[in-house]
Amino acid sequence: MKTLPKLLFAFLLCPLISSPAFAQTTFVHLFEWKWNDIASECENFLGPKGYAAVQVSPPQKSVAGSFWWTRYQPVSYAIEGRSGTRAEFASMVARCKAVGVGIYVDAVINHMSAGNRNFPEVPYGVNDFHTCTGPINYTNAWQVQNCDLVGLNDLKTESDYVRGKIAAYMNDLLSMGVAGFRIDAAKHMPSGDIANIVSRLNGSPYIFQEVIGAANEPITPAQYTYISDVTEFNFSSTLGTYFKGRAPLKDLRNIGVWSGWLNSSDAVTFVANHDNQRQNTSNIVTHKDGMNINNIAHVFMLAYPYGYPEVMSSYDWTDHDQGPPTSTPASNCNNGWLCEHRNREIANMVGFRNATKEAFYLSNWWDNGANAIAFGRGSLGFVVVNGESSAINVTLQTGLAAGNYCNVIAGDFVNGTCTGASITVAANGTATFNVAAKSAAAIHVQAKNGSVVGNNCVYSSMKLRGTFNNWASTDMTCAAGTWVGTASFTGNTGRFKFDAYGNWVNNWGNNNSDLIADASGNDILVTTPGTYTITFNDANLQYSITPANNTSSAVASSIAASSSSTPASSSSAASSTGASVSVSFTCQNGTTYSGQSVYVVGNSAALGNWTAASAIKLNPTSYPTWTGTIQIPANTAVEWKCLKREENNAAAGVVWESGSNNTFNTGSASSTLGAF
């Protein structure tokens, strides 16, 4: 889950398709956990903390052995192995799904185990495999995709029979409710073979593919993005370089837009995965660097607006091959089981990413020129990461509204109060952060002290989804057992539903005037344009729709809080004279990618009349600060915002400055300042 996962667009046509949890934005790999332990973890921790899904170890029958990699040597497509039985697997999927957590299966479909080319349980015979058994030259694409990988029998995935067997296995898993797949060793299969197999799958599962890019190799991750998301190993290795102290954290400001990287919408990111944390430990951040380093690397990943992040939750090891601990259940989090996903710094940043999903851009960047950095996510959240060896104390512009916020790194936000230290944001948006060495601080709008969420409601979250937000998710707030939210409808055929977790697993619509928990139920209709307060009691399934007292101000507030909408409602600029004056405009924190620039747009013809295509381009005079001088009618009240867009396509790469419109009058001001 990223900014807007590809499958989300299906909702525009059919908003009840089963698919990943879009409101939640992070998944976790519970490496080598048993199915029963995962089910309990979904219910007791992952669901309440807002994780979208769990990647599970390969469930298919594999060779016997205690090493972790034996799971990646399948002998059949039966669901059996050291994580549990088929019945336990099915139970896990159902229990996790019931609390809004999907299951992603690690699908080993490139090969079977080493040995002779005979697998009667499938069945596969010698003619179902390629014949190249020699070492692979990775500069030779044919060898990469047709030779045995480290001696494992390479399946002939161009064969219709083999494709059918693989698809049948994956469809079997989908029939049990699996939400998606990681395709292991995707690089070792031609993309066309994978595309054909995916086309045979039932429904619309979320899929991401393991493709490790390397210099001077002909096979690249970008060759697979037309199918689905792809692992971005550059992200993992780059965080390893910076958080191990080999380069200053300040240089991470533009990570993700560097040459050769996947677009954010195509990338699955991670601090480490089960392979590289064992095979490349010296260059990858793991628990062996010290848990504080591992934690703050995850804080950065979960705060930074790039990709769909995966949290790695593993076990301690002393050698590369070591299998999982057997003396205690993984959910006990001891005797070798690390449970990194439960670390407060990581778990609460999942909530931060969920809370800031509507502001998927960087704002208010700050650094000390070295290893202390900070940045915002519009008006929804702000994070400080201190990679220095000593504490920092700094006052920064957060972009958040005034108030007292829970520092979710230091404490949990429970029933409207923080169990740890809080941070106060002043009326001007600034806050003072005192952050220890190798630590972090983070605040967000859904952890503002005094704001109670989940107060005696049945579900841990509730979303409004409808035509007013293009079937995305708008959070509701629970008070005294009733969820409350607002929505602004502009047409005469507005529709919406209530959705507990933002993934259509538990949702309610209106059918014959009775509210029902039925995915096939009709949408609730709103036939009069305006802004409404909507309530929903998730115990008795009663709801109400009431016109807001002040429709115009409510609409303006909603628009101003959105990171990608048009500006807040404003009047046209009024001038009493035909003369004009020169006004200097400055936009700070205008971080862009190649082909994207910063513009000024506002409420007059000179500023494009709030139209992105007519906005006035600024110059990166002191990047990422952009400036320019524009002629504006004299004695005029002006409202404006900074805007990012692509230079050659005004509809692409659009990012609006968050918050209220910037204002000034040309009768009294000759310069004005805005910031992302």
Q: Which residues are catalytic?
A: 184, 210
Nearest to 171 by CA among 205, 194, 142: 205
Question: For strand 463-466 and strand 474-475, is the pairing parallel, antiparallel, or unpaired?
Answer: antiparallel
**DSSP 8-state class, residue 151:** T
In angstroms, rounded to a whole number, what is the distance separating the alpha carbons of residues 236 and 147?
Answer: 27
CA-nearest of 40, 62, 136 to 333 is 40
Distance of CA 223 to the CA centre of its chain: 22
Residues 484 and 476 sit within 8 Å (Cβ to Cβ): yes
Longest dimension (CA), the chain: 89
How many CA atoms lie less than 13 Å away from 111 in the CB half-sphere? 29
Query: What are the contacts of 124-130 at 24+ separation with CB within 8 A?
Result: 124/155, 124/162, 124/165, 127/156, 128/155, 128/156, 128/159, 128/161, 128/162, 129/153, 129/154, 129/155, 129/156, 130/154, 130/155, 130/156
Contact 350, 68 (CB under 8 A): no
Torsions phi, psi for 291 (to 5 deg)? -65, -30
Spell out the alpha helix ranges (H) of 432-550.
none
DSSP per residue, 223-243: GGTTTSEEE-HHHHHHHHHHH
Cα–Cα distance between 580 and 595 in angstroms, integer?
32
Tokens 């999982």 correspond to 324
- The pair of structure tokens assigned to 440 is 């972090």
- Tell me 569's DSSP state: P
H helices present in 561-612, as ranges: none
Amino acid, res. 304: Y
The phi and psi torsions of 341 (rounded to 5 degrees) equal: -65, -15
Query: Which has the closest alpha carbon to 270: 316, 246, 244, 304?
Result: 304
CB 91 within 8 Å of CB 165: no
DSSP string, 232-274: -HHHHHHHHHHHTTSS-GGGGGGTTSSTTPPPGGGEEEES--T
Distances (CA, A) of 105 to 23, 232, 325: 21, 19, 21
Q: Is the dihedral of CA 61, 66, 70, 71 positive or negative?
A: positive
Residue with tokens 């769990």, as numbered in its chain: 54
Name the 3-class secondary structure at 367: strand
Is 648 in contact with 595 (CB distance < 8 Å)? yes
Tell me the C-alpha distance between 654 and 676, whole Å: 12
| CA 341/CA 320 separation, integer angstroms | 22
Which tokens belong to 643?
Answer: 């805007």
Beta partners for 160?
none
Place of tokens 């303006």: 556
Cis peptide before 218 (omega within 30 of 0): no
Q: Tell me 275's DSSP state.
A: T
Which tokens hold the place of 235? 């992200």
